[in-house]
A and B are shown apart, each in its own frame.
Chain A
């Protein structure tokens, strides 16, 4: 079963912040975040392996609440280069290695 992402789409001005949420009905081993530019392949952003873990890279960070089976991606002071579609991918705790993706959040950053 696919994880549920929200919102489906976001339009921002440069410098504004955004939060993208991802939730699953299954117990999770890990949560991944990927970004896809139009016409390109998805590219890995970060992975969260432990409950309550928060990771970050520059102005993009994420949290993972293992008990609630939820993750959030935080984009701070957005830049034009942040535009694209963001996908969360979840790996269940059953030992099955396959990654299941949400339907994506389209983010558009305007000047």
Chain B
């Protein structure tokens, strides 16, 4: 079982460039989310989805877009990268509260540097 797979692991962008961070899961989890982690700031929620076709904003959504066309995939798009988006990005999934506990499984992370 692969679990939660994030690609790429590392990426360097120039200001203004666009890119997509990929997140794929094979656990049939209905809930998927994206966090960014910056030193001293902990994990901050960017966007999340409770199922295919449903997305919602988290704490820091500006500059990021998401879509959820399938249960398995939840890509995070940066339309015009800025140096402030330099961070480590984590995708996290769970089977959802209805199953008894909204326990998150994290991907390995994607380290993004914007020059």
Contacts and interface: CB of A to CB of B under 8 A. Distances in A.
Contacts of B25: none
Contacts, number: 63
Contact of B44 (A30, A32, A101): A101
Q: Give the interface size bracket for B toward A.
A: 20 to 34
A49 B109 contact: no
A97 B104 contact: no
A91 B107 contact: no
B5 to A, nearest CB: 12
Contact of A98 (B45, B90, B105): B45
Contacts of A100: 45, 59
B14 to A, nearest CB: 26
Nearest to A43: B106
Nearest to B35: A101
